[in-house]
């Protein structure tokens, strides 16, 4: 006598207890699987909000696969448990499997979009196109990749919102190497004007902008000292800002206007065209077969207006 035949001959109370046992056991097993997954991904943190996952940052593809395995095992356990419970109501297990197969085929034909989501999701995961932690622009949305799943890719945008993008809508992916854009602001030095004087005016504004907008200005601005043009014969000082992608207006409007107003208080003839803003593209160098990101090779100096610079 097998377990099924034995259970069918049990009194109703015992069969009810068996159903509760199956449902509770399935839930406990799923809970254990999720706890193990969270422990691997989050370490001692119970939630991603309590510091994030160092494991996910170091091994993003493995973290994504673990998440998929967790979801798959959860589905299988609940699927089997439901079949065993229905069997206690005298529903044949073969009929249950056959009906789910037919229903699955019907749903598959009627939901091709879901199939596209799964296929594209697997492609994103195993082709390493985007990883957890990357800052990307996808379907007009800019954000940091929080997860890449079978159906959705989740971004966290500038405002902390979780944006769920169906994988089938992902056609073009723009990746921001280093997770930011780099804005260079040049202040021309009029005639024989002292460069330190301009620096002492501009540097506090740059530092204040960083202090006020740390979500947009991702690192403290860097100062590059006095620069000389090769043929033009003029001099300028340069600042570099690392910005959240798409937020260049903060530099082009707010910072530029504040700096211009403050400069004109001390230098009335300082013109608007003497402040130039550019966005430098990164240089990619392949050396010995290895791709080297040279975007941060131009390191500046701290924003300390008391430091003397060449005139």
Tens-digit pLDDT profile for residues 78-113: 888 887 777 777 777 777 777 777 666 666 665 667
Q: Are residues 54 and 95 in the same domain?
A: yes
CATH code of the domain containing 168: 2.30.30.60
Average pLDDT for residues 291-299, to the nearest whole number?
49
**pLDDT of amino acid 22:** 82
- The count of domains in the chain is 3
Least confident of 53-67, 163-177, 195-209: 53-67
Is residue 209 within 8 Å of residue 252, measured between CB atoms? no
**pLDDT of amino acid 277:** 93
Per the structure, the complete domain to which residue 136 belongs is given by 128-175
Q: Are residues 203 and 289 in the same domain?
A: yes
Of 226, 243, 305, nearest in space to 278 by CA: 243
Beta strands in 101-204 (DSSP E): 135-138, 141-148, 152-156, 162-166, 173-175, 181-189
**pLDDT of amino acid 67:** 76
Tokens of 74: 């959860």
**pLDDT of amino acid 51:** 41
Q: Are residues 165 and 244 in the same domain?
A: no
Q: Are residues 252 and 168 in the same domain?
A: no
Q: Are residues 200 and 147 in the same domain?
A: no
Please tell me the distance from the alpha carbon of residue 102 to that of residue 88, in angstroms, as a whole number: 22
Question: Which comes out higher in pLDDT, residue 228 or 252?
Answer: 252
Residue 79 CB partners (closer than 8 Å, separation 6+): 100
Q: Please check whether residue 117 lies inside any domain of the structure.
A: no
**pLDDT of amino acid 11:** 64
Q: Please check whether residue 15 lies inside any domain of the structure.
A: yes
Q: Are residues 104 and 77 in the same domain?
A: yes
Question: Which comes out higher in pLDDT, residue 116 or 250?
Answer: 250
**pLDDT of amino acid 57:** 62
CATH code of the domain containing 263: 3.30.70.600
For 151-194, write each residue's pLDDT tens digit: 888 999 999 899 999 888 888 888 888 888 899 999 999 988 88
Q: Are residues 186 and 289 in the same domain?
A: yes
Q: Please check whether residue 21 lies inside any domain of the structure.
A: yes
In which element (H, E) is residue 287 found?
A: strand 284-287
**pLDDT of amino acid 258:** 94
Q: Could you tell me how far CA 39 lies from the centroid of its own chain?
A: 21
Average pLDDT for residues 190-205, to the nearest whole number?
90
Q: Are residues 143 and 214 in the same domain?
A: no
Asked whether the predicted pLDDT for residue 305 surpasses 80, the reply is: no
Average pLDDT for residues 278-306, to the nearest whole number?
52
Is residue 204 within 8 Å of residue 305, measured between CB atoms? yes
Residue matched to tokens 């199956």: 22
Average pLDDT of every residue of the chain:
78
Q: Are residues 277 and 200 in the same domain?
A: yes
Q: Please check whether residue 258 lies inside any domain of the structure.
A: yes
Q: Are residues 195 and 289 in the same domain?
A: yes
**pLDDT of amino acid 304:** 56
Q: Are residues 190 and 281 in the same domain?
A: yes
For 237-286, write each residue's pLDDT tens digit: 999 999 999 899 999 999 999 999 999 999 999 999 999 999 875 543 33
Tokens of 29: 């097993």
Report how far apart the first and last C-alpha atoms of the chain are (Å, whole number). 97
Q: Are residues 37 and 70 in the same domain?
A: yes
**pLDDT of amino acid 21:** 84
Least confident of 32-46, 181-195, 209-223: 32-46
| Entry pTM | 0.62
167: exposed, middle or buried (C-beta count within 10 Å: 0-12, 13-18, 19+)?
Answer: buried
Residue 107 CB partners (closer than 8 Å, separation 6+): none
CATH code of the domain containing 30: 1.10.287
């Amino acid at each position: 006598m097998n377990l099924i035949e034995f259970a069918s001959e049990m009194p109703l109370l015992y069969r009810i207890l068996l159903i509760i046992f199956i449902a509770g056991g399935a839930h406990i097993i799923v809970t254990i699987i999720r706890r193990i997954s969270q422990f691997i991904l989050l370490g001692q943190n119970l939630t991603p909000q309590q510091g994030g996952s160092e494991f996910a940052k170091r091994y993003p593809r493995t973290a994504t696969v673990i998440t998929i395995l967790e979801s798959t095992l959860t589905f299988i356990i609940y699927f089997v448990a439901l079949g065993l419970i229905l069997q206690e109501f005298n529903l044949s297990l073969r009929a249950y499997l056959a009906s789910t197969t037919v229903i699955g085929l019907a749903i598959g034909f009627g939901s091709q979009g879901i199939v596209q989501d799964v296929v594209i999701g697997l492609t994103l995961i195993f082709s390493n196109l985007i990883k957890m932690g990357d800052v990307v622009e996808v379907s007009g949305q800019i954000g940091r990749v929080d997860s890449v799943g079978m159906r959705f890719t989740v971004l966290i945008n500038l405002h902390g919102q979780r944006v769920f993008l169906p994988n089938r809508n992902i056609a073009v992916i723009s990746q921001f190497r280093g997770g930011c854009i780099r804005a260079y602001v040049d202040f021309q030095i009029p005639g024989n004007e002292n460069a330190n004087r301009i620096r002492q005016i501009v540097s506090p504004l740059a530092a204040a902008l960083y202090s006020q907008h740390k979500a947009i200005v991702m690192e403290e601005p860097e100062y590059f000292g006095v620069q000389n043009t090769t043929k033009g014969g003029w001099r300028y000082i340069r600042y570099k800002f690392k910005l959240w992608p798409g937020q260049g207006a903060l530099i082009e409007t707010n910072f530029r206007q504040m700096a211009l107003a403050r400069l004109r208080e001390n230098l009335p003839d300082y013109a608007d065209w003497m402040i130039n803003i550019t966005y430098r593209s990164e240089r990619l160098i392949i050396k010995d077969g290895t791709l080297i990101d040279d975007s941060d090779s131009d390191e500046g100096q701290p924003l300390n207006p008391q430091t003397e610079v060449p005139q």
